[in-house]
Structure 1
Amino acid sequence: MVLLTPFARMIPLPETTMRCRYSVVAACILASFGGVAEEFIERLEVQGDFRRLSVQNIAGSIAVLSTDDMQRSSAQHLDDVLNQLANVNFAAGASRGRFVQMRGIGERSEFIDVINPSVGVLIDGIDYSGLGISSIAHAEQLEVFRGPEATRFGTNAMAGMLNLTSKQPDFRRDGAVSATLANYNSWQLSGMVSDAISEQLAFSLTLDKQVSDGFIENTYLNRKDTNDIDELTARGRLLYRHSDQLQWQLIAHVIEQNNGYDAFSLDRNRTTLSDEPGKDKLSSKALALRSDYNGLSGVDLMWQLSWLSADSDYSFDEDWSFVGIRPGWEYSYFDRYLRSREQWTLDYRLVSDDEGRIGEHTDWVLGFYASGRELDLQRLRRAGSEFRQFDSSLYRDNLALYGETSTALSEQVTLIVGGRVERYKDEYTDSGELGIKQQHTMWGGKLSLNFQASEQAMIYTLLSRGYKVGGVNGEALSRAGDDGFSSLLQQATFEPETLVNAEFGVKGAAIDGSLVTRVAAFHMWRDAMQVKGWLNPDLGPEFAGFIDNAGRGRNYGIEMENRIVLHPSFTLHVNAGLLKSKLGPYVTQSGLDMTGRDQAHAPRFTYQLAGDWFLSEQLTLQASVQGKSGFYYSDGHNARSTSSELVNLRLTYQLEQWQFALWSRNALDKDQAVRGFYFGNDPRDEYAPHTYEQWGEPRRFGVTASYQF
């Protein structure tokens, strides 16, 4: 996308351009300057790939969201952003939605078993897969890679990758602060500053604090804050330019999350009856050291060494009710999961420059990747007056070699060949004195043929292969000795999954910038597909989850993103995705034959229709409609959501360096389900099975004031 930042740099502009103020789109600038406008347009580049290139020149379905794109729906969290994207969905089951699905593929929860993400998360090159993105405030950009990206990212990108980049250090002072007040007793205070310390040293720092009572009323406790939000995020960078050839960067992150978790209701609404509301806490710290060196002949060297430590506390009232709700039928359980995670990663890469090509027309990349991760779990469960504890530990190390070549076959045709070989080794132990060791060697890659029809249009064909590691079903092993659960002994482990993707895409733009379009059609074949299964032998409150391999699956469809300047004062954004997915041969533990059914959390239709309307020199109106069709909640049952449509509105007034915005998300107050289960949990109807759903946010409205300096 080609946009100005929400606060344009302080560049003297002609009078016609001043009418556009600081948040105008490229079309308005073009109307003022004609061909000279290019120097005032910020072109977004993909930072997560091997080379920084425009999204219009990279094969693959990639969306790059700028600050403007995230601001359009007044987004405060990743949940608010993902609804903009075609063929992207998410699941909550916690205080926030941190489990992402792309093209119908991705995990939906994490309890005892360690999840192996199909969609990974990187923040400033640090692996947050499984932890999610805590804050998007003042982010430089968010990149969304759809489809397998094994060559670049490895095992955590079988279905795609989210890559968030925080503010880069700038040797010119740049800063902004913003404050938000909203309903549900919500407020947010955030700020960003970047400046030079010396001629060689610069820094950037982003801080964000969010507080809200949440959207649940607990009538038993007479409280409205049992599902509250209380989050603090800090991200900083320190850049040292040793010379023109060498620069170092130190990156530091801190996250403190102390959210409540009381989301599911026996009455299947936003009113709960829990006497012991849970928590969703996270405390994490991360450091990374990066070096970029271009002093060698024909090759640039980049490496990054990172470390992350995270402790989480996730708990919930398992019965969703109180003692005395139905004597003789009721039960009282409380579940708590204490996790600790310690990891390090090293990514070491050689990238050819103009002098380091193989022959005259080939560029290349060669890299080495290593990581180690230790994951410890302590599950504390109270069942009535009985206390149960389960401890497990998993240590995983990964080693990988990867490479890619880009060969110009002619002035218009480029062939890209990439591959990655990765070996992982797991050592699992638990409190049942069980020890399991696993190791596998996996491979992925891509083959792409790109045809640059003109400077504004590219056509590509892409064949890529991704993979995801296998693992151990700790919950199945811990429950196999219980009455009715002996069949879980057959589910001790699960195998790696692989995916092959065939894709055809077109990317184009009008010379005057009035149209930018990207369209991709894809067909994906999944092998040894990992699905979430559940065993509930007597349909009561006791059940166990496990990960199973379900043979083959297919996912195919089309997605498009368009930006159309209909008038110098009005720009239209149209994103849409069509998706068809099928489960391969799979029969659940309860005997349900799921063969041929749609995969879980894979809506057949997703879309966003958004407009930016510049009403005057200072006033801008932005509106969007985001929707998705209904989808199945699980591969283990047939409960499904209804379709949803969300309307977002934002009215912005710009006054020099100040910006004031009045906004509303989900302005029509529509229900949107973000997680669902099907089982019996209500003693008042003798545990008859129902579809229980967690709802996304209701109508939100607020005001935001921002100041750029």
Structure 2
Amino acid sequence: MRFIPSLITVAICSSYPLYASDTETAIERIRVQGDFRQQALQNISGSVAVVGEQDTKRTSAQHLDDVLNQLANVNFTAGASRGRYIQVRGIGERSEFVDTINPSVGILVDGIDYSGLGITGISDLAQLEVFRGPEATRFGANALAGMINLTTKGPTAAAEGKASVTLANFNSRQLAAQFSNSVNKQIGYSLSLEQQSSDGFIENTYLNRDDTNNIDEFTGRLKLRYQASDALTLQLVSHFVDQNNGYDAFSLDRNRTTLSDQPGQDLIRSKAIALQADYRGLPFANVLAQLSYLTADSDYGFDEDWSYVGLHPDEYSTTDRYLRQRDQLTLDYRFISSPEGKLGNSDWVLGLYAANKSFDLTRQFWNWDLWQADAFVSELSRSNAAVYGEINTPLSDGWNLTSGLRLERYEDEYSDSSGGSINNDDTMWGAKLSLNYQVNPQALIYLLTSRGYKAGGVNGDALAKAADDSLADLSSKASFKPETLYNAEFGVKGVALDNSVSARVAAFYMWREDMQVKGWLNPDSGPQFAGFIDNAGSGRNYGIEMENRLQLHAQFALSLSASWLKTELGRYITLDGDVFTGREQAQAPRFQYSVAADWYLSEALLVNVSVQGKDEFYYSDGHNARSSRYELLNARISYQLAHWELALWARNILDKDIGVRGFYFGNDPRDGYAPHVYEQFAEPRRVGMSASYQF
């Protein structure tokens, strides 16, 4: 911890001008889209990381997975073929099987809730924002630990377009195209299309195939903007995602070679539409409103035994498959004070939120008690209603106070094919109080406290199996309570007038109450597991995160993000009697860092080199399996012509095996089902070339 004061000193020093001249126009202009009001990144109290198009180019990122490694105190888990579950400051889910989860870190794409579905294409990325720490006032129950907010490119006044192609090893291809324009002064539009495909990074020696863990994803996004009047702007947003990925990731030999005779799948087809309105005709406030609808069908399944019939006399051969249908309708209606509508000198926000979501599941599995194929069907309907507000009050001499509050009510109705039926409901509240000192236009010091929350829910798997004598202990796990997170944070942000130095540092301490953890019961040490979400008393998460950029020369820039994190489980004893009290929490590496250098060898030739590192971490709160510490080395060289850009790139140059999901149990009959750490690995060494044409 002795290095923390020096980091804060760097941030404070970087906030002062390097020369005494009026260069206001040179100040960093990154504006955060996901907050109540669009404002400069340097002026927002709270820890927010922003990723733009140029940042994704640095590592030739093609998916959200490729971006998250650049960010401090952000981790992710591959729930299936892609990284779908995100952890911020060590808090977040790792998977979704029978029970419907309420994510601790939500995902918004153009304001539409994709939490739990993940993100496919990012070729039309305009800006990605990662809010770290509880953001309940702004985002509600899906932002206990933070929020991912992605904004895609929209309509433009003049014609703009881009087409790109990428080829890489493992038979990988990416085709993308975007075009935007205006029909007239009132109507504009944008369209983006992207197709990604790859054989994946697994060889199935039994089937003699290298595409059982393949990637095949299509993403289409359309925006129509209509300037109805000087006071009213309407925008229609439409998304379509068709993901047909394979899932064959775990190996009995604990490497990238599998033996599955029935490889699984990870299919998602989703459609979403949103109507957004921006009305500025009221004398006291501007009105922002969004009505959105999303429907998604998913098919996620895998070969449970990871092998083939005939491997060993003590073998078993089963599959597990989860067919889900999700429908959601959400409304967010917000009043934002205009200069004429202030309360004294205070700006204010008042909003209403309502959502109705349904989750239907059909699980096809092998019933070990009946010794036959079986199915389990469940239905969950959830309604949310919330009212929220925020007031920003200037004090004196650069000081101001921001206070926010959100009240939210949720109601669940659950039923399943085993006769289980339960209703859950609760009223939750979140808040934020921030004291900010604007040292000068380029520097901010803030001290904030915030309270976040996460809804409780129903353990359908536990409820269905509680009648089994061998699983009677599950009767107490039919449901679980909401979780609450308290956060105290001190931060410093600064940027030099000429943008040669920018720095952001945040130190935080978070306290979790009734923290939700994933539990498993394995009564006979066989292939039958019962999963449930449990409340584990309390937990602590504290640390520091920083992001700096140094323009060391007109042709050379250095970017650095780093974090240190300490976590601890409160009193937690599993149903199997394992004691995890005081242990570090899952998916919470002690340190992370990313160092990137951008070197312009000429006006047209650019070299990017980056190194990303992460400490080891536990894969679960229910066992002690851990990942390995790693460093990733990436490089890219690009040449810019008038309209063309050509690039050669490589990721994970050292070809490290990076674990993105891990279990600890026995699944190999060849060694008597002795327990091992089984891991799913991220991509190995990737080498490719890209070409894009922009006009």
Q: Percent identity?
A: 62
Give per-residue Cα distances to partners, 1:131-153, cap 9 Å, x unaligned.
11111112101000000000000
Match of 1:297 in 2: 283
Alignment of 1:438-457 (within 5 A): 438-457=424-443
Match of 1:232 in 2: 218
Distance 2:157 2:57 in 1: 26
Alignment of 1:329-408 (within 5 A): 329-359=314-344, 361-382=345-366, 386-408=372-394
Match of 1:494 in 2: 480
Indicate which of 478, 495, 498 corresponds to 2:464.
478
Match of 2:580 in 1: 594
Match of 1:223 in 2: 209
After TM superposition, give the deviation of residue 156 of structure 1 in Å: 0.2
Match of 1:7 in 2: none
In structure 2, what residue type is equivalent to 1:574? L
CA RMSD of aligned residues (A): 1.4
Distance 1:35 1:626 in 2: 37
Distance 2:352 2:417 in 1: 36
- Does structure 2 retain, via aligned residues, the 8 Å contact 1:264–1:692? yes
Alignment of 1:282-681 (within 5 A): 282-327=268-313, 329-359=314-344, 361-382=345-366, 386-482=372-468, 484-681=470-667
After TM superposition, give the deviation of residue 42 of structure 1 in Å: 7.6
Alignment of 1:680-691 (within 5 A): 680-691=666-677
Indicate which of 113, 124, 136 corresponds to 1:138.
124
Indicate which of 131, 150, 160 corresponds to 1:174.
160
Indicate which of 35, 38, 50 corresponds to 2:36.
50
After TM superposition, give the deviation of residue 480 of structure 1 in Å: 2.4
Q: Aligned pair in 2 of structure 1 residues 512, 36: CA closer, same or farther (>3 Å)?
A: closer
- Does structure 2 retain, via aligned residues, the 8 Å contact 1:56–1:508? yes
- Does structure 1 retain, via aligned residues, the 8 Å contact 2:23–2:498? no
- Does structure 2 retain, via aligned residues, the 8 Å contact 1:61–1:147? yes
In structure 2, what residue type is equivalent to 1:401? V
After TM superposition, give the deviation of residue 638 of structure 1 in Å: 0.6
In structure 1, what residue type is equivalent to 2:251? S
- Does structure 2 retain, via aligned residues, the 8 Å contact 1:376–1:394? yes
Distance 2:317 2:187 in 1: 58
Give per-residue Cα distances to partners, 1:635-680, cap 9 Å, x unaligned.
1011111101111100000011100000001011011100000001
- Does structure 2 retain, via aligned residues, the 8 Å contact 1:93–1:694? no
Match of 1:13 in 2: none
Give per-residue Cα distances to partners, 1:131-185, cap 9 Å, x unaligned.
1111111210100000000000000000000000011211111111110000000
Match of 2:249 in 1: 263
Give per-residue Cα distances to partners, 1:174-219, cap 9 Å, x unaligned.
1111100000000000011110012200001111100000000000
Distance 1:319 1:404 in 2: 53
In structure 2, what residue type is equivalent to 1:463? T
Distance 2:223 2:603 in 1: 36
Alignment of 1:94-133 (within 5 A): 94-133=80-119
Alignment of 1:145-184 (within 5 A): 145-184=131-170
Match of 2:55 in 1: 69
Unpaired stretches in structure 1, ≥5 consecutive residues: 1-29
The alignment's TM-score, normalised by the length of structure 2, stands at: 0.96
Give per-residue Cα distances to partners, 1:376-416, cap 9 Å, x unaligned.
00000135871110000000000000000000001400100
After TM superposition, give the deviation of residue 489 of structure 1 in Å: 1.2
Distance 1:383 1:72 in 2: 49
Give per-residue Cα distances to partners, 1:307-354, cap 9 Å, x unaligned.
000000000000000111111x10011000000001100000100011
In structure 2, what residue type is equivalent to 1:114? T
In structure 1, what residue type is equivalent to 2:222? G
Distance 2:636 2:71 in 1: 19
Match of 2:77 in 1: 91
- Does structure 1 retain, via aligned residues, the 8 Å contact 2:106–2:116? yes
Secondary structure at 2:445 match in 1? strand
- Does structure 2 retain, via aligned residues, the 8 Å contact 1:290–1:305? yes
Distance 1:202 1:703 in 2: 33
Distance 2:47 2:28 in 1: 21
Moved more, 225-234 or 588-597: 588-597
Match of 1:210 in 2: 196
After TM superposition, give the deviation of residue 36 of structure 1 in Å: 7.3
- Does structure 2 retain, via aligned residues, the 8 Å contact 1:333–1:383? no
Distance 2:183 2:72 in 1: 42
- Does structure 1 retain, via aligned residues, the 8 Å contact 2:134–2:487? yes
- Does structure 2 retain, via aligned residues, the 8 Å contact 1:298–1:354? yes
- Does structure 2 retain, via aligned residues, the 8 Å contact 1:173–1:193? yes
In structure 1, what residue type is equivalent to 2:375? Q
Secondary structure at 1:607 match in 2? strand
In structure 1, what residue type is equivalent to 2:422? I
Distance 1:268 1:476 in 2: 30
The alignment's TM-score, normalised by the length of structure 1, stands at: 0.94
Secondary structure at 2:580 match in 1? coil
After TM superposition, give the deviation of residue 478 of structure 1 in Å: 2.1
In structure 1, what residue type is equivalent to 2:254? R
Match of 1:188 in 2: 174
Secondary structure at 2:526 match in 1? coil
In structure 1, what residue type is equivalent to 2:320? D
In structure 1, what residue type is equivalent to 2:516? Q
- Does structure 2 retain, via aligned residues, the 8 Å contact 1:332–1:383? no
Distance 2:23 2:542 in 1: 42
Give per-residue Cα distances to partners, 1:211-244, cap 9 Å, x unaligned.
0000000000000000000000011110000122
After TM superposition, give the deviation of residue 457 of structure 1 in Å: 0.9
Distance 2:565 2:685 in 1: 28
Distance 2:591 2:677 in 1: 22
Distance 1:45 1:458 in 2: 15
Give per-residue Cα distances to partners, 1:101-124, cap 9 Å, x unaligned.
000000000000001100000001
Unpaired stretches in structure 2, ≥5 consecutive residues: 1-16
Distance 2:527 2:210 in 1: 27
After TM superposition, give the deviation of residue 475 of structure 1 in Å: 1.0
Secondary structure at 1:484 match in 2? helix
